[in-house]
A and B are shown apart, each in its own frame.
Chain A
């Protein structure tokens, strides 16, 4: 009897742009997925050695431990300013920030608006999990109306605490923005779409097409007080109606790119 020929095929491998350091994220947290997608894109574009990342203050404060490229760590909300300083003196490098919603939409509102306004040629990966993860689940500017957090224990009352900020919509209005979209990380199909968007965002930067941002709807099972699986369902059911998954700004050159 002939022995059957087995062909070894790589179906899953760690991207070279990830360092292999185990992350400190909670089980079921989608920060890890977002990291992997960025790393895959850096690999595919073969730009890892030309890339400088800017880590935020938030749960992803140690992002620099997980990526296999040069990194700096910014003050809370200031990553876009730091990235500006780097990009202006290293215009041929790929510079990206990775920021949570407290970091980007609250304390760093001024910095993010102005990089978009200037059309700063950087890429921003924006993790919207509707909450301050690192400090234990307080209300964020993105917290949904009625959502309970440790600092809105009876639910976000829009009368006194205001409405969620829609950052992608807001930033897309700036003429300096080349690519601004929202995607979600709650299931494989959406994860694939998120990756495509991240690729386009980095391509936009590589081609000098202005500010690019991908907002990623993400989960924080720990501070939402649900299981990882429930968190995915909660995201789909509650977040997407408030934060539609759309392309808010895609300049024509980018619309033609296919990945």
Chain B
């Protein structure tokens, strides 16, 4: 395969097709509609299933049904649509069936706007539907990563019988870059002892999220938590840049992390020993890597396209050992490399504290005009 100029959304859709996705159910919403549109011709062309559902509520429940048969299945949406999917995702988690979801995050809350944002970090990484469960969340920063992570998402979903979300943002979804698509893989159905396929020659199978006896539900909760520890032990992924000798560490995921890399390079050119950690899996989160970095660095800067959601995870990892500062652009705005460079300089050249609330400090600087927004 050679590199082609590809748009993120089309690239993720075609990557899913080539990863052997056999069924797609979705509902139009900007900035991910190109995924649905691509699937609408590509899946029938390959004699696979495509259906535009009446809502995201229905779409995720169609996905749930197809997943119960052992079919490789996915949906895609953007923030308001993903909110509607929370009920279905919780049931899917409660049934342990493998499902892949692409969320091309946009500005919120409410209807918000259609510009790139990272404001659904908490919803995807820490919460979402009701009940105790965790989903794997992958955060691409380029079209190539969006492709690779879509393929990986199917592998992880099936390996762990777990929900895997590719958390892109509007910019990864909409931008065009040279990237390489994977080879076409054959379509296969999962053969385990759980899919419902009709009980020919075996006792009936039931897939349900009900554990009506609290002790049984407790056991199930233990089971999926232990699975999560397995996932944590084996699947944490991240990218490191210039961290070997870094005194200062920038942490950012997805597009914010990618922009921050430009700033880190510029700061290095000025002689500031700064590096970048870009989580690839924001869930499971690279806690121990940040824990180690917090023991040897002098300060951290978290950069996000929201008002500081991953910030809480970084602070948890840093355990108050070093100052952690925050810089964010919420609402569909994107930071400029120069803005982050300014924050790196501040980190390196001004006295910092481990006291107080970094998010509040950032907000105060915005409010007073000390931090100019462009």
Contact = CB atoms under 8 A, between A and B. Distances in A.
Given A69-B204, A71-B204, A73-B207, A110 B54 contact: yes
B63 interface: yes
Residue with the highest number of chain A CB atoms closer than 10 Å, among B22, B62, B63: B62
Nearest to B195: A70
B65 interface: yes
B51 interface: yes
Nearest to A88: B49
B69 A90 contact: yes
B23 A70 contact: no
B224 interface: no
B9 interface: no
Nearest to A92: B198
A90 B58 CA distance: 18
Nearest to B54: A114
B217 to A, nearest CB: 14
A110 B57 contact: yes
Contacts of B91: 74-75
B87 A70 contact: no
B68 A72 contact: yes
A68 interface: yes
Contacts of A49: 198-201
A93 interface: yes
B61 interface: yes
B353 interface: no
A70 B198 contact: yes
Contact of B23 (A64, A75, A89, A93): A89
Residue with the highest number of chain A CB atoms closer than 10 Å, among B49, B63, B199: B199
Given A86-B69, A88-B51, A89-B49, A71 B206 contact: yes
Contacts, number: 128
Contact of B58 (A51, A55, A62, A111): A111
Interface string A52-67: 1011000001101101
B69 A114 contact: no
Residue with the highest number of chain A CB atoms closer than 10 Å, among B61, B71, B197: B61
Contacts of B209: 73
Mostly helix, strand, loop or mixed at chain B's interface?
A: mixed
B66 interface: yes
A70 B194 CA distance: 10
A78 interface: yes
A99 interface: no
A111 B198 contact: no
B88 A70 contact: no
B58 A78 contact: yes
Contacts of A239: none
B205 interface: yes
B65 A86 contact: yes
A85 interface: yes
B65 A82 contact: yes
A110 B58 CA distance: 8
B206 A85 contact: no
A138 to B, nearest CB: 20
A112 B71 CA distance: 23
B64 interface: yes
Contacts of A74: 61, 64-65, 91
Contacts of B87: 75, 78
Interface string B240-267: 0000000000000000000000000000
A75 B68 contact: no
Complex A-B, nearest 4 residue pairs according to Cβ-Cβ distance, in ascending order? A85-B65, A85-B62, A81-B61, A73-B208
Interface of B: 22-23, 25, 49, 51, 53-55, 57-59, 61-69, 71, 73, 87-88, 91, 95, 196-201, 204-210
